[in-house]
Amino acid sequence: MKAPILSSWFGKSAVTAPPDIESAALRSDRFRLEREGDWQRLEDIVKRMEKGGLRRISDDELLALPTLYRTAASSLSVARETSLDAATLRYLEALVQRAWFQVYGPRKGFFAWFKEFILGGWSRAVREIWLDVCIALFVMVAGTLVGWLLVSQNSEWYYRLVPGGFADTRVPGASREVLMDTLGTEDSADRLSIFAASLFSNNAGVAILAFALGFAFGIPSLLLLVHNMALLGAMMWLFVGADLGVEFTAWLSVHGTTELFAILLAGAAGLHIGRSMAFPGDKSVLEAASASGRRGAVVMAGVVFMMVIAGLLEAFPRQLVGSVEGRFTIGGAFLVFWLTYFFLYRPARAEDGI
Amino acid sequence: MSAATSLRGLTNRPKQERYLVTPEGIEIPIMLASKGSRLGAIILDFLFFFVVIYAVVYFLIFVGGGVFDAVGDSMEGATGAFEFLYILFILFLFFMRYGYFMAMELGPRSATWGKRIVGIRVAARDGGRLTPEAVIARNLLRDIELFMPLVFLIFAPSGEQGNYGIAGAIWFAIFMFFPFFNKDNLRAGDIIAGTWVVEAPRTKLAETLSTSGAAASAGSSTLTGAKYEFGEAELSVYGEHELQVLERLLREDKDDALGPVHETICRKIGWDPGAGDERAFLEAFYAQLRAKLEGDMRFGKRKANKHA
């Protein structure tokens, strides 16, 4: 079975001229010899489409493709009724299958897909999982509260919730000046782009993890949300304790409205999958999982996009814009934008005509 | 479609075969990719993955070195260019991790390089189009199936991470053995995306058998000039299954395998098996048996094998 694949790598074997039709002793072989020219033309077109998409074939061939495909398909059904030539049947089955993938394949190019995605597909997918978004939002708020409450009970919790890398100078008992300093700005944009790129890569990774873990009935996704938000709650407690609540919120809001929104959506998409697998309703579990998985994938493609924006916001405006008002304006504008895009912007569904 | 064309009911169809019904109403068999070929594909993909990453890293180090040479001792000029290279590197790693499989599976062959080499592809399980959403979904899951536990496994031997290594191994095992516990060999990503992995057949059109040798000349051998003609009773001994075995034998073109078959057929139909002209005999027998069986098919009579 593997031999023909290898041989196809090492040059083409010489194509011999087909025998003339009259010499065939069998009616089914005559049938085949009359049509095999069309089959081979179809195979040739399909082979080139598989190699390089539509660029490699001419307009004539593109027009001929559906006809040739139907010819081969009808040859197959006739041959099944009249021919006992197993090799020809196998060839036709393989050919029709390959051609089918090309004729009915995902020929919506990436850019066409992306346009549909931006102009409605994404916001529609987000609205479709509204219930999961609500649950995830609730969990995130609860997580923040839990973090706050734990730390206010016992400040030792702070060191458990906030990883060392972040904690540096931002620890319980630090003076207001030290904390204020961490909310400050940079003088120039040097190195901030590296910061942006690594933030993006890291945050997108976390979001994808939250989505993928939804597979286990959504529970790990929710735990991940709680854990991340508890960290935020702990830090809020620290800054509010130093009477820096407003400054901290402003500092956070620049990128936070985008980043936290993205994390919310990622968690909700994961939860959506988990929930539909636990409660598939009148569909089978597999059907429910794949329908919700595709919907979640659309949301996730958008989440990665949001993470790019959040990374840029975090690295540049947050580090360069110092005023509390300026920071609130940027963060608020993005929040309004996302809310409008997801919940008010409702274009008609562009039918993709399957 | 008459019942005869439905492949589902037929015996002797492979267990890993599934069916796709085209909009024209024709049933096409598709073979699920074996677990072995999928494993082979992922190993090959990982090889490519790491080769590309190492190549890029060395390239960046090479260019990075060049940046330092160009600016000499002053680091001022170097930082900007270096920063740029570093960002490229971070973004490159990200897009390799998430983009490599996705971009390749969105292409016209719906397969990564590894899958192409072993001859398999991704397809939508419902028989429809393979949508970009499905490809995104199945590859986002790859992160928790492969990359994450692999990171755990890399740290496990050092003991630094304690039980995380063992947890990672268990995690890894759960996802690796996932395809063994469902009949369609689905991995977790396939379930979420509604996809499966199937063989991408590359069958060549074989020669017509009835235009060559003794079959073409109404049963007369080019070697001895003898003419083989079989009667109704002699041809009704065998059915379609035996015909296919005979076809495979003739196509394989191994002359030493023909002798025993020649002998068996002769004994079965009561002829005296000679020697030296087996191929012509079998070609003639094949062509005439096929003509008879195909003639019967047109009248709706089918004989599956010699017992039928």
Identify the weakest region by mean pLDDT among A196-210, B3-17, B244-258: B3-17
**pLDDT at B225 exceeding the cut of 50:** yes
Do the Cβ atoms of A72 and A92 come closer than 8 Å? Answer: yes
CB atoms B193 and A286 under 8 Å: no
CA dihedral (A133, A137, A140, A142) positive or negative: negative
Do the Cβ atoms of A271 and A140 come closer than 8 Å? Answer: no
Confidence of residue B221 (pLDDT cuts 50, 70, 90): low
Identify the weakest region by mean pLDDT among A273-282, B71-80, B218-227, B260-269: B71-80
Residue whose C-alpha is closest to residue B30's, from B131, B137, B111, B120: B120
Residue A141: predicted pLDDT: 94
Residue A337: predicted pLDDT: 93
User: Counting beta carbons within 10 angstroms of the beta carbon of residue A30, is it exposed (0 to 12), middle (13 to 18) or buried (19 or more)?
Assistant: middle
Residue whose C-alpha is closest to residue A105's, from B262, B111, B293, B88: B111
CB atoms B86 and A194 under 8 Å: yes
Q: Which residues of B, range 151-180, sit inside 8 Å of A by Cβ?
A: none
Nearest CA in chain A to B107: A53
User: Which regions of chain A are under pLDDT 50?
Assistant: 1-14, 352-354
Residue A8: predicted pLDDT: 44
Q: For residue B31, list its beta bridge partners.
A: B17
Mean pLDDT, rounded, for B117-137: 87
Across the interface, of A23, A32, A93, the residue whose CB is closest to B216 is A23
To the nearest whole Å, the CA of B280 is away from the closest chain A CA by 15
Residue whose C-alpha is closest to residue A206's, from A109, A55, A307, A292: A307
Which value, in Å, is the radius of gyration of the alpha carbons in chain B?
30
To the nearest whole Å, the CA of A82 is away from the closest chain B CA by 6
Across the interface, of A101, A104, A293, the residue whose CB is closest to B194 is A293
Question: For residue A55, what is the DSSP state?
Answer: G
CB atoms A215 and B291 under 8 Å: no
Task: State the amino acid at position B243 in one-letter form.
Answer: L
Helix (H) or strand (E) holding A264: helix A245-278
Residue length, chain A? Answer: 354
CB atoms B129 and A354 under 8 Å: yes
Q: Structure pTM?
A: 0.79
Q: pLDDT per residue over B52-90, tens digit each?
A: 888 988 888 887 766 656 555 544 555 667 777 777 888
CB atoms A94 and B93 under 8 Å: no
Do the Cβ atoms of B31 and B14 come closer than 8 Å? Answer: yes
Residue A190: predicted pLDDT: 63
B146 close to A (CB below 8 A)? no
Residue A261: predicted pLDDT: 93
For an interface test with A, the pick among B1, B18, B28 (most A C-beta atoms closer than 10 Å) comes out as B28
What is the percent of chain B with per-residue pLDDT over 70, rounded to a whole number?
80
A191 close to B (CB below 8 A)? yes
To the nearest whole Å, the CA of B262 is away from the closest chain A CA by 20
Residue A187: predicted pLDDT: 63
CA dihedral (B198, B199, B205, B207) positive or negative: negative
Q: pLDDT per residue over A37-51, tens digit each?
A: 889 999 988 888 888
A216 close to B (CB below 8 A)? no
Q: Which residues of A, range 227-246, sit inside 8 Å of B by Cβ?
A: none
Residue whose C-alpha is closest to residue A76's, from B20, B109, B207: B20
Q: What is each CA distance from A17 to A26, A33, A37, A187, in whole angstroms?
A: 19, 11, 11, 77
Residue A1: predicted pLDDT: 41
Mean pLDDT computed over every residue of chain B: 79
Residue whose C-alpha is closest to residue A45's, from A55, A35, A30: A55
To the nearest whole Å, the CA of A31 is away from the closest chain B CA by 11
**pLDDT at B9 exceeding the cut of 90:** no
To the nearest whole Å, the CA of A142 is away from the closest chain B CA by 26
Question: What is this model's ipTM?
Answer: 0.79
How many whole angstroms separate alpha carbon A349 and alpha carbon B181? 39
CB atoms A96 and B290 under 8 Å: no
Place of tokens 């110092």: A322
Residue A7: predicted pLDDT: 43
